[in-house]
Chain A
Amino acid sequence: MRIDIDALTVEIAGARLVEEATLRAGSGQVVGLVGPNGSGKSTLLRCVYRALRPSAGMVRLGGEDLHALSAREGARRLAALPQEAVTEFDFTVAEVVAMGRLPHQRSVARTGDDDRKACEAALVRVGAGHLAERGFLALSGGEKQRVLIARALAQQPQVLVLDEPTNHLDIAQQLEVLALVRGSGLTVLTALHDLNLAALHCDLLHVIDSGRIVASGAPYDVLTPQLLAEVFGVRAHRVPHPESGAVQLLFDRLLPTQPAS
């Protein structure tokens, strides 16, 4: 299912956090959203998973206006891994994954066979079947992220939105998370900090700076030295990955901040 974001604007207390952002992700594509801290990545994504209502513009899922759907209906098509300090409640892994079934369940109905099967399959898919009875809070960062992906998969969505899913993970865990996301076959929209990981794992990149999308396209076309200088304020060289040929960046140094014009 494709996702189209058209001229999305978010204004909170007079500040424009996102300004007429337009971006798309084709069905089954993995699309990265990159940009400096505070550029509006999370704000934009929050509109997509409906934690925030945009002031203007539209998010369309497979052509339908997302915010015209009921919250439940929306959550059956789109799952998300928000970036937030996780809960203090001592849920088991199985309970966390079961929450993914919420948009499919009536509030008083018992958990059905469908629900159980979806949860088991999702846990096995992320290689966490053996963790089911463990306490979620006692898991390592990588295990937690795998369980949260399982929760999203149990939701049986067609689109997956992730906000910096590799934060605080070691390199093996980062690669594992990205492989799971790619392997899900879903349309994926993810914010990423690490530009080299983004270049390796995304089909398409959108670069956001001060709330505006300033570049969109294949990683090779987007991650140019000029853009890195303008948006991130760093000097970088591009080299091809020795195996895949994907563009990779070698960072040089900070550029002197340009006086505001």
Chain B
Amino acid sequence: MLLLSIACGAGIGASGLSWGEVLRHLWAGLTGGPITPDQVPAYTIVWELRFPRAVLAAVVGAGLSAIGVAVQAMVRNALADPFVLGISSGAAVGANAVLLFGAFGALGVWALSTAAFLSALLAMTLVYAIASTAGGLTPLRLVLTGTAMYYGFSAVTTFMVFAAERGEAARSAMMWLLGSLGGANWASVPIAGGAVLVGLAHLTVSARRLNALAMGDETAAALGVDAGRLRRELFVVSAAVTGAVVAVSGAIGFVGLMVPHAARMVVGADHRRVLAVAPLAGAVLLIWVDILSRVVLAPVELPVGVLTAVIGVPCFVLLMRRRSYTFGGA
């Protein structure tokens, strides 16, 4: 399903290429096979633009969904998502500094993702320092601090948009805030992909401990799980993955909040199953959303965040009405 979706991501787009051509170019790209000079434009579209974009969509979708699961367990809150820790809005400050004022100009094409990642790390350190007390990281403090920082960073971003000269720069800042995979290329795949894989591995190994943590810190302790340490681990993993993902895709909302819930509605609350299903579902969802964002108003691209909501909300409401699903007494 995932592979098929990635292939579709490479196959569907604004310039009409036949499926035969797409498959031939994919094969050529994978095997390094020969192509004739007149095929170069089509090859470039398939191999250099669409394919990495589909792969990146899968990486981002999987990452956001997995981190959504982790954060909801970490703060034991149904409304939590990867952005509740204030990390994405921190990343937005860095990204907009680049988009609007040309900061980090020396880094060239890497400026945007570097700035976003660095400011995500800075935001994470701030939130961690403010939220932690002698008693460790408590869920409520974490959510409150993250939310407060979110508004703080958003204010800085908004101010920057206003202060900047109008026009294209403000438009790309807006695009970034709503999320877009338009900047995808092969260079952006390894770092985000690596971070997501490492994060997924850690979460999968911790799935049973996540179950214990979901039952409460005291219960976790009685089951031999150090809740404080696990929460610190989750915080670092979530922050690093969110930072890496947001750096290449902007702040794509909704996926990290809803995909975990949708996964739980289908397979139940056991994190071993949720963590097997949610990243796949998130990856497939985001690939298709990205395809739609490119073709609906082609050649204009819609922000991905708009479409994740447009598609996700009705699906979610349907699922919720069909099954008796409880989280947070809902």
Contact = CB atoms under 8 A, between A and B. Distances in A.
A252 interface: no
Interface in B172-216: 204-206, 208-209, 211-212, 214-216
Nearest to B204: A108
Interface of A: 13, 46, 49-51, 70-76, 78-92, 95-96, 99-100, 102-103, 105, 107-108, 135, 137-138, 155, 161
Nearest to B264: A90
B215 A87 contact: yes
Contacts of B204: 108
Range of interface residues on chain B?
20 to 34
Contacts, number: 109
B211 A82 contact: no
Given A49-B218, A82-B218, A108 B223 contact: no
A107 B328 contact: no
Interface string B290-330: 00000000000000000000000000000000001111110
25 contacts: A49-B221, A50-B221, A50-B222, A51-B218, A51-B221, A75-B224, A80-B218, A80-B219, A82-B218, A82-B221, A84-B216, A87-B76, A87-B214, A87-B215, A88-B78, A90-B325, A90-B326, A90-B327, A92-B268, A92-B269, A102-B209, A102-B224, A107-B209, A135-B326, A138-B326
Given A86-B215, A88-B328, A107-B206, A95 B268 contact: yes
B48 interface: no
Contacts of B328: 88
Given A89-B327, A107-B209, A108-B205, A99 B218 contact: no
Minimum-distance CB pairs A-B, first 5: A75-B224, A82-B218, A80-B222, A51-B221, A103-B224
Contacts of A13: 134
Q: Which of B134, B211, B218 has the most CB of A within 10 A?
A: B218
Among A13, A83, A85, A90: residue with most chain B CB under 10 A: A90
Given A51-B222, A99-B211, A87 B205 contact: no
B223 A137 contact: no
Contacts of A75: 222-224
B122 interface: no
A46 B222 CA distance: 9
B226 interface: yes
Contact of A107 (B205, B227, B269): B205
A107 B205 CA distance: 6
